[in-house]
A and B are shown apart, each in its own frame.
Chain A
Amino acid sequence: MNGILAKKLGMTQLFTEQGECVPVTVLEAGPCVVVCHRTENKEGYKAIQIGFGSKKEQRANKAEIGHFKKAGVDVCEHLAEFDVSDLESWPVGKEIGAADFADVKQVNVSGLSKGRGFAGAIKRHGFHSGPRSHGTHNMREPGSTSAHSYPGRVFPGKKMPGQYGNKKVTVKHLQVVKVDGERNLIFVRGAVPGPKNGVIVVRKD
């Protein structure tokens, strides 16, 4: 198994024995449960589907309830698939948690970034703002988008206002500082995309 689903609890700091301060993000990884298998015969690849987070049965539709009933597990809020080399060691219904990451040094972390809606070029791309006073009307404008009759068009990929955030973001090679298997906590050095209580996919690097 190369990954797990987690909830971002927030950021804090830890001290090393030498007194060095380490900024960490705390992830509650699990308890997750194996819901079903993807086999080479049927789907053409080997993977396990894991569920994370509890959900009231009345909030799930019949198809979902049937899916979880077949596995004999409680209804989960989130599902994700992860590749495995051997399906036998990950039977359906097996619980997985942060303890499976105890010997992992580095992880890649993906999450849905905080949504900022339709944002201007200053917030979205870090453009400079214009002067606020002296009769100007150029305060938060993006400025010129192109030259004149040559090229006579705006180049593709020009940075402009638009939707910012609420997009899948992956941060690679984050150092795992500490793993608390009992409470399913993974302490990762640095920041992780998304808001607090956001769902995060943690993959072994």
Chain B
Amino acid sequence: MSLNIEVIHQENTKSELADFRAGDTVTVNVKVIEGSKERIQPFKGVVIQKKNTGIATTLTVRKMSGNVFVERIFPVHSPRIDSIVVDRPGKVRQSRIYYMRDLRGKAARISERQV
């Protein structure tokens, strides 16, 4: 009777996760199915937020696609997410950088964080 819900949470979460936070530029490798083939589609952009809710943890990535901004929310522990790679750690003061939505051009730069 020592079984509890935390054990089951752990079984269904990925043990190795990239350490990323808001402001980082990351590449999320998503598995997509095209017809009968499966391939990996990268989605590269800035992390706007990371919602730490255990097994339901998500991250929101914002990127420029053509001349429009696209935001996508990924469940971190989903089997459709192949990997998350941190390309450039960014230095920001807030954990939710929604203000990036109002900034364009030079104002939307993020300085690099020393790791």
Contact = CB atoms under 8 A, between A and B. Distances in A.
A198 interface: no
Contact of A26 (B1, B8, B56, B77): B8
A72 B3 CA distance: 26
Interface in B11-57: 12, 31, 55-56
A15 B4 contact: no
B80 interface: yes
B9 interface: yes
B1 A10 contact: no
B78 interface: yes
B51 to A, nearest CB: 14
Contacts of B56: 13, 21
A183 B5 contact: no
A183 B3 contact: yes
A13 B55 contact: yes
A104 interface: no
B78 A9 contact: no
Interface string B53-84: 00110000000000000000001011110000
Contacts of A183: 3
Chain A, interface residues (CB within 8 Å), range: 10 to 19
Interface string A167-202: 000000000000000010100000000001000000
Contact of B8 (A9, A17, A19): A9
Interface string A5-19: 001011111110111
A15 B1 contact: no
Given A13-B55, A15-B79, A28 B3 contact: yes
B78 A21 contact: yes
B12 A21 contact: no
A12 B5 contact: yes
Contacts of B4: 9-10
A129 interface: no
A54 interface: yes
Contact of A19 (B5, B12, B55, B79): B79
Contacts of B80: 15, 18-19
A9 B1 contact: no
B78 A19 contact: yes
A12 B3 contact: no
Interface in A3-60: 7, 9-15, 17-19, 21, 26, 28, 53-54
Contacts of A28: 1, 3
A14 B3 CA distance: 18
A29 B5 CA distance: 14
Contacts of A54: 1
Given A10-B4, A185-B8, 13 more contacts: A7-B1, A9-B8, A11-B5, A12-B5, A12-B8, A13-B55, A15-B75, A15-B79, A18-B80, A21-B56, A21-B78, A28-B3, A185-B3
10 contacts: A9-B8, A10-B4, A12-B5, A12-B55, A13-B55, A15-B77, A19-B80, A21-B56, A185-B8, A196-B5
